[in-house]
Amino acid sequence: MSKIAVLGAGAWGCALALHAWRQGHAMTLWARTAPRAVLPAEVTIVGDPMAALAGADLAIVAVPAQHLRAVVAPWPGVALLLACKGFEAGSGLLPTEVAGRGAVLSGPNFAAEVAAGLPAAAVVAGADQALVEAVIAALGGPALRLYSSADVLGVQAGGAAKNVLAIAAGAAMGAGLGENARAALITRGLAELSRLVLALGGRPGTAAGLSGMGDLMLTASSPTSRNTALGERLGRGETLAQALAASRGVAEGVASAPALLARASTLGVEMPICEAVAAMLDGRASVRDAMGGLLARPFRAE
């Protein structure tokens, strides 16, 4: 691939544009507003998505999952890599289901560290093996180790669920419930994530891999995560509106939580931690009431 277009100039889009430029590709970045990141002069920034796509071999879509439908289009001749995570509100669809094609990039990656060239790893999942291999050849390198997967829905489910679970982990810390509570939520959250992956036809290894356990561990254990930080604010007693206003960017878990639960319900998957998060977000339960409800559940084998 010689020319790559990135659609979306948030932190993740800018980080991917910078990484692809370091890999030697001609780069065009579509931005609605001027990006906050400082990018090399060789990265062309345009305000029209079609201008960004002109002559591109690959389009990396790095907009929030809830905006994907409004952005993605057929774009004949351009391969598609989706770099967003979440279930679409209303439809409950995952990004490749919304787009109808393409591969997906997912893993335990903070944008700032990828932008800085620090070592990271991720998964490229797709039904088109040739596309997956082409993406890995184009973007894989010493600073970003990429693994291939054919488990398209499983990889996306992990990336979406971890955002919701991270809100729970952050809320526990914000409420002063301690590290033991956070560890328990992450561990039992992984069990919920695994059930969802399997119900979607995914592989157990996906849930235990980079896009499942890896992404959950990173997101739910660091205040750098927007979802964890939002959960901490809720745990300290802020309203959802206050927590959202203070967020540094989009906390995907907020919109994904009800959509995830609706999808899980159709599959017969029980996700009590995600249900508790949804109850906190829509005001049906306080953080302590939600956590108390989880602790009051009947004892069972692990």
- 3 in active site: no
Q: How would you list the strands of the sheet with 58-61, edge to edge?
A: 43-46, 26-30, 3-7, 58-61, 79-82, 103-106, 120-125, 144-149
Tokens of 161: 């669920």
- The count of residues in the chain is 302
Structure tokens at 226: 């927007």
76-to-57, 59, 193, 294 alpha-carbon distances in Å: 10, 11, 35, 49
Here the tokens at position 223 are: 């205040």
How high is the pLDDT of residue 297? Answer: 87
* pLDDT score at 166: 97
Range(s) for CATH 3.40.50.720 in the chain? 3-150
Neighbours of 110 (CB within 10 A): 18
Q: What is the pLDDT along the chain (302 residues), one digit of tens a residue?
A: 689 999 999 999 999 999 999 999 999 999 998 898 899 999 999 999 999 999 999 999 999 999 999 999 878 789 999 999 999 999 999 999 999 999 999 999 999 999 999 999 999 999 999 999 999 999 999 999 999 999 999 999 999 999 999 999 999 999 999 999 999 999 999 999 999 999 999 999 999 999 999 999 999 999 899 999 999 999 999 999 999 999 988 999 999 999 999 999 999 999 999 999 999 999 999 998 998 899 888 888 88
User: Tell me: domain 3-150, CATH 3.40.50.720, correct?
Assistant: yes
In whole angstroms, how far apart are CA 136 and each of 70, 103, 156, 157, 218? 27, 11, 17, 21, 22
Fold of 159-295: N-(1-d-carboxylethyl)-l-norvaline Dehydrogenase; domain 2 (1.10.1040)
User: What pLDDT is stored for residue 1 in this prediction?
Assistant: 61
- Whether 60 contacts 44, CB under 8 Å: no
From-to residues of CATH 1.10.1040.10 in the chain: 159-295
Annotated active-site residue in 162, 195, 233, 263: 162
